[in-house]
Structure 1
Amino acid sequence: MKAAALLLLCLLSTAALALEPGERLAPWTLLDQHDVPYTLNDRTRILLVARDMAGAKLVNAALQGKPKGYLEERQAVFLADISHMPGVIASLFALPKMRDYNYRILLDRDARIAPRYPAGEGEVLWLQLEDGRLLTQQAFKEAGALEQALAAERP
């Protein structure tokens, strides 16, 4: 009985966190892989969110061979939740590798921001924004589909 009550409570709390079209996203500031701060603002049109390494790999695959500034031209930002990554692994291996990427990765090291957005395991959540408000959202589980969607967004 306790387990059923706990499950129901979890489902209700998840539903309460769901984003609705027209909802304004609260601004936040995170550092990228170069320790440069970025604040979510009304000019951001696309927010890509990966909650795990598999999702982050989808973004990386979709951006392979793209020129520097590809996301910025589309007013897009990429938020990666790295809170589950052990600190030693992050500092010795992951972050040095991320610094070689030619796109910006906003790093949520403490799971302060990413849990606001309902990205599932192994997927990338795409939030389409206008003036800081959510228009639509969709999830990508394949790099090719994400790459095509980004290409369709004209700078």
Structure 2
Amino acid sequence: MKLWTLLFIALLPFAANAVEVGDTLAPWTLLDQYDQPYTFGNDAQILLVARSMDAAKIVNGALQDTPKTFLESRHAVFVADIQKMPAIIAKMFAVPAMRAYSYRVMLDRESRVVPRYSGDVDKVLMLKLHNGKVVSQAQFDSSESLRGALTQP
């Protein structure tokens, strides 16, 4: 019985990782598709999180035909979890294809950042931030709705 209690207490922090309005997000550093580091911090105003290829396609559709500075001008950061992708596929095909994008993708290769932000696997999570604190959050299941949210002032 004591073993189960200790196990429950040890695993509790992992179960309670939902981000709430008012929470301050911890900084992290990931490499983008060009292997350039990016450190997430208080300057970011929007965080887009994709947990799956379907969610990443929503972001790609929303950003298609946008200027190269679209995300940067909005202080927006896009992070994609690619941990489930076979390493050889990522290295030989997926990441090189991402280099054609007009925007940066922070690649969570080991799934160490994306799990901090809960949400549906096939939807894009958008967190709006002010000084590192979450002021709102929404999920999107279409490129059109995400693009509309990104173009709002």
Note the residue ranges of structure 1 that are not aligned, 5 or more in a row: 1-7
Query: Which string of whole-angstrom CA distances, capped at 9 and with x for unpartnered residues, describes residues 48-94 of structure 1?
Result: 00000000000000001001010000000100000000000001100
How many angstroms apart in 1 are the aligned matches of 2:147 and 2:125?
13
In structure 2, C-alpha distance between the alignment counterparts of 1:71 and 1:38, rounded to whole Å: 14
CA RMSD of aligned residues (A): 1.6
User: What is the identity, as a one-letter code, of the residue corresponding to 2:72?
Assistant: E
SS of residue matched to 2:120: coil
Q: Distance in 1 between matches of 2:130 and 2:54?
A: 28
Shift of 1:151: 1.1
Within the alignment, does 1:107 sit opposite 2:111 as a pair? no
Q: Look up the equivalent residue of 1:28 and give its one-letter code.
A: W
SS at match of 2:56: helix
**Helix, strand or coil for the counterpart of 1:39?**
strand
Per-residue deviation at 1:35?
Answer: 0.7
Q: What amino acid maps onto 2:137 in structure 1?
A: Q
User: What pairs up with 1:11-50 in 2 under 5 angstroms?
Assistant: 16-50=16-50
Q: Return the offset for 1:15.
A: 5.6
Superposition pairs of residues 5-154 of structure 1, within 5 angstroms: 16-153=16-153
- For 1:128, give the aligned amino acid: K
Q: What letter matches 2:30 in structure 1?
A: L
Q: What amino acid is the match of 1:38?
A: Y
Structure 1 consecutive aligned stretches of length 4 or more whose deviation exceeds 2 Å: 12-15
Q: Secondary structure at the match of 1:115?
A: helix
Tell me which amino acid in the other structure corresponds to 2:21. Answer: P
Provide the TM-score with structure 1 as the length reference.
0.88
SS at match of 1:17: coil
Please tell me the residue identity of whatever aligns with 1:114: V
Deviation at 1:13, TM superposition (A): 5.9
**How much has 1:41 moved relative to structure 2?**
1.1
Which letter maps to 1:21?
Answer: V
1: CA distance, partners of 2:109 / 2:102: 20
Identity %: 51
- Give deviations 1:98-125, integer Å, cap 9, x for gaps: 0010100000000010000013121000
SS in 2 for 1:29: strand
